[in-house]
Structures are given as C-alpha cells and as structure tokens.
C-alpha cells in the first residue's frame, strides 16, 4: 500500500462515518422532529456509524481472509506479554498527560487560573452506550483498521518506520476531536504499532487499547475528569517527574514485551 492510499482510506472511513450518521439522523428529524430524549438515538447512531464505516472499508477495499478460530486460540499468545500491557497502559497515560494539558500548562505559567470544568454525566443509558463504544467497539474496529490493515499493508511496500509513522498519523487524524488529542493518539499509535510489528498478533493491540480506554473511562466516571486526575493542575516538579516516570514505564514495558516475544 502506498502512503497516499493510506491517507485516502482514512479520509474515506471518515466520510463513510459522516454519511451513515446523516442517513440515520436526517430522516428521524424530518419524520418525527427532534425528540425530547435523544440518548438512544445518539448512542445507536454513534455505534452504528463507526462499525458501518469500517465494515464498508473492509468489504470494498480490504476483503481480509481472517482466520477467527486461529486468532482466538489461547496457545497462540504469550501470557507473559499480557502481564506487561497494563504497565504500558498506565505509562502511556502518564506520558500523554502534558499533551492533553497543553493549554492549561500555558495558562498556569502565564499566571492564569485553571479550573477543571468537567461535568460527569449522570445519564446511565448514555454511559452504557459510551462504554459499548469506547471499550468494545473502538479497540476492536480501530485496531483491525489501523494496525491489521493499514500498518500491515504499508509495511509491505515501505520501511517499517515509515509504515509505523504513517499509520499512527492516520490513527491520530481519526481522533482529532480536539487539537490536544493529536500527539497523544500519535504516540499511542506508535506504541500499538510497534507491538503489532514485533508480535504480529492484533489481540495484544486490542487488549492494550481496551486498557487505555478503560482507565480514561474509569477516571471520568468516579467524579474526577481525566484532565484533572492524580495531581490536579499543579504543574510543578512532581508533575514533570510523573511524566518522566510514565515514559520510563512505557519503555520498560515495551522492552519486556520484546524480550518475552523473542523467547
């Protein structure tokens, strides 16, 4: 796969996602107007559009010959690697935190007050849809697309480092809800991509993706926003020490995975 094709497939996935959403929401608005409670409509639309968009890519452009039985065999996976995935997940969140906090860090050092305005949702139905989308749909669908499809195809015609960077940029583009999301998702894409290239097992990537999302969801729903968890907005020596610790933990976890995979 060429680099241009990789970006085109990513844009196409976004286009499919938008079209499916409009195909669901516009008829509803036209026929019944805006309902009082849009929780179910929004939740179902979000899940359907994500799954539908990537399924269209799979069907028209990938057409994988995927051996599900082989992929689910426990003996094909190294249990030692699973032990290091939570370590990497924690390390990634600590390492990525300053990039999410970038605007708040600027305000802090400029002497501007930074208050966490996060409001936790008390809508249990909305939370259920969010959990399904974040913990079940996203790890499986996104890892199959960005690692199993894009990275795998890119590495055939390009050097591994080029394939890794391009697939991670594509992964980042699909998470551009806020500019501060770009670097963290790029870094996560690099880590997930390395794991896939080293092990050739997409299952490890799915589990790590799940762990990272689980930590974020958990902190967001225990009354503390992920943006303000652990140490708040005191961007002092301890804050940056924890950032360094997260980087070290991630690197150690990756080294352990490489060693375990070689064994």
- Using the predicted structure, report yes or no on whether residue 151 has a pLDDT greater than 80: yes
Between CA 263 and CA 257 the distance in angstroms is: 10
pTM of the model: 0.85
Q: How big is the CA angle at 56 (ends 216 and 197), to the nearest 5 degrees?
A: 55
Average pLDDT over every residue of 199-205: 90
- Using the predicted structure, report yes or no on whether residue 179 has a pLDDT greater than 90: no
Q: Would you state the pLDDT for residue 118?
A: 47
Average pLDDT over every residue of 72-79: 72
Average pLDDT over every residue of 214-223: 72
Distances (CA, A) of 194 to 78, 129, 160: 16, 31, 9
**33 domain residue, yes or no:** no
Average pLDDT over every residue of 28-52: 77
Confidence of residue 137 (pLDDT cuts 50, 70, 90): very high
**109 domain residue, yes or no:** yes
**49 domain residue, yes or no:** no
Higher confidence at residue 41 or residue 36?
Answer: 41
Token couple for 217: 């969801």
**143 domain residue, yes or no:** yes
**24 domain residue, yes or no:** no
- Using the predicted structure, report yes or no on whether residue 122 has a pLDDT greater than 80: no
**55 domain residue, yes or no:** no
* Average pLDDT along the chain: 83
**152 domain residue, yes or no:** yes
Task: State the total domains in the chain.
Answer: 1
**210 domain residue, yes or no:** yes
Confidence of residue 46 (pLDDT cuts 50, 70, 90): confident
Confidence of residue 204 (pLDDT cuts 50, 70, 90): very high
Tokens 């002092």 belong to 236
Average pLDDT over every residue of 225-239: 63
Domain housing 107: 67-262
């Amino acid at each position: 796969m060429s680099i241009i094709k990789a970006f085109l497939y990513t844009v196409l996935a976004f286009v499919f996602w938008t079209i499916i959403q409009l195909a669901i929401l516009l008829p509803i608005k036209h026929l019944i107007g805006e309902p009082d409670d849009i929780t179910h409509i929004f939740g179902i639309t979000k899940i359907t559009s994500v799954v539908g968009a990537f399924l269209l890519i799979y069907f028209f452009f990938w057409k994988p010959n995927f051996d599900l039985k082989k992929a689910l065999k426990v003996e094909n996976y190294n249990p030692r690697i699973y032990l290091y995935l939570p370590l990497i997940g924690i390390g990634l969140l600590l390492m990525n935190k300053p990039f999410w906090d970038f605007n708040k860090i600027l305000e802090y050092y400029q002497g501007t007050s930074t208050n966490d305005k996060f409001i936790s949702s008390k809508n249990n139905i909305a939370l259920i849809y969010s959990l399904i989308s974040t913990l079940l749909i996203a790890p499986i669908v996104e890892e199959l697309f960005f690692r199993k499809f894009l990275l795998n195809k890119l590495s055939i015609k390009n050097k591994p480092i080029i394939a890794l960077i391009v697939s991670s940029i594509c992964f980042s583009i699909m998470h551009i809800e806020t500019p501060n999301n770009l670097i963290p998702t790029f870094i996560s894409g690099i880590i997930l991509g390395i794991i896939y290239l080293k092990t050739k097992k997409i299952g490890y990537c799915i589990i790590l993706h799940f762990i990272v999302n689980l930590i974020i969801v958990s902190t967001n729903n225990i009354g503390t926003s992920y943006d303000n968890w652990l140490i708040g907005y005191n961007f002092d020596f301890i804050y940056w020490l924890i950032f360094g610790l997260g980087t070290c933990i991630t690197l150690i976890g990756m080294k352990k995975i490489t060693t375990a995979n070689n064994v």
